[in-house]
Amino acid sequence: MLSLVTLPTAVVPRAPPPTMSSLFDGRGFFVRAVAVGNSGLALPEFRQPETITPLRHAELKHARLAMLAAVALPAQEYLHPRICSLFNCRDLTELSNGMSPSVFHPDVAPALALALVAFSATELLDISSRSTSGLRFNEWSPDSVAGDLGFDPLNIARNLPATEKFELQEAEMLNGRVAMLALAFFAAWEVTTGTPVISAF
């Protein structure tokens, strides 16, 4: 009679899953600039990593500015007159029918200059950091992380799995795109109606 003999099989240990201590340590598929915000609608000439990577970095910078501006514009039109009334100071929105004053207004110049200095310093630090890797001022590594400033004081992204980091970056990009559209709507509203955007709500 034949008997079945169970032969011992070698157990190959599985490699431990990759871990990333923070959003800025991982340079894998889920977090690189090419992957974030990629809906597949780009023209063929813009689908190459060397082309889409700098565009993605630029898009995220504009997205972050737009998110700040989309909140700041209606907030200052609503809060600025009330703060000025409380502290008995000059209300700049009176010069433009309750709308935010133009960036070309002399009283806005100091705040604009401060913003330009801060943004320029951040950009110069980024250029300097990339130059140590042999990259020019307009070049990024294909596996770079868009918006990587190495700054996460609240540890929002620390110890998140790669998929959740990808979702976090996707959410930032999508919210930024919505903010850019919202800001365009705010500007169009105020130009066409001559009234502050908060009057629409």
CA–CA distance, 92 with 77 (Å, rounded to integer): 10
pLDDT tens digits, 96-110 = 888 888 777 777 888
Contacts (Cβ under 8 Å, ≥6 apart) of 49: 34, 142
How many C-beta neighbours within 10 Å does residue 197 have? 23
* 188-198: average pLDDT: 89
The percent of residues above 70 in pLDDT, for the chain, comes to 75
Give the predicted TM-score (pTM) of the model: 0.71
In single-letter form, the type of residue at position 29 comes to F
Question: What was the pLDDT predicted at 183?
Answer: 93
Mean pLDDT score, 173-200: 90
